Amino acid sequence: MKRTAEIILTVVGMVLYGLPVLLSTILLNVKDNPEVRREIERGLQTAPNADQMGAVNMDQMMDFLGSFATFILVAALISIGLGILSIVFLKGDKKPKAAGIILIVTAVLMTFGTVGFGLFAGVAYLIAGIVALVRKSKQNTEDVQTVDV
């Protein structure tokens, strides 16, 4: 049985998980840029509630942004890798149940793992996983044994 729908949905999910990879890579590249740091400081000073924020340590804030971006990058890359593994399992209808379980678990965990940035990718993985589990593969007539009475 062809698993074209599941494979296409998995590829769509992988492309959508590429967006958090792209965004976190950009954030990691600009976090050490002094111009970006000055713009963030200027934005914090001109914020409407700047007097209520108190003193903000920019070094800690930039370190947090770097750690946050790294976390999202790793989660999205793991999601893409598990999507590739699922496609390998779906290709040729080898292990569709395992692929469906991997896709559903990845969808749920990595939607939270990417802090919501992978929501639409998670939906694509979830649909592909459900379809992979629900769809029955055709049995060959040669495989069915008959009992003569």
Domain-located, residue 148: no
Does 128 map to a domain?
A: yes
pLDDT at res. 39 = 86
**How many helices and strands, by DSSP H and E, does the chain display?**
6, 0
pTM given for the model: 0.80
> Exposed (0-12), middle (13-18) or buried (19+): which is 139, by Cβ within 10 Å?
exposed
Average pLDDT, the chain: 86
Any domain includes 108: yes
Given a cut of 60, whether residue 100 has pLDDT beyond it is yes
In a domain, 143, yes or no: no
Q: Give per-residue pLDDT as tens, 31-88.
A: 888 888 888 878 877 777 766 666 667 788 888 889 999 999 999 999 999 999 999 9
* 110 falls within a domain: yes
Q: Report pLDDT for 70.
A: 94
Instruction: Give the number of other CB atoms < 10 A from CB of residue 23.
Output: 16
What type of residue is 130?
I
Q: Domain span at residue 102?
A: 4-134
First to last CA, the chain: 32
* Total domain count, the chain: 1
Question: Which conformational region is residue 2 in: left (phi greater than 0), alpha (psi within -120 to 50 degrees), or beta?
Answer: beta
- Residue 129 and residue 87 in contact, taking contact as beta carbons nearer than 8 Å: no
d(C-alpha 124, C-alpha 118), whole Å: 10
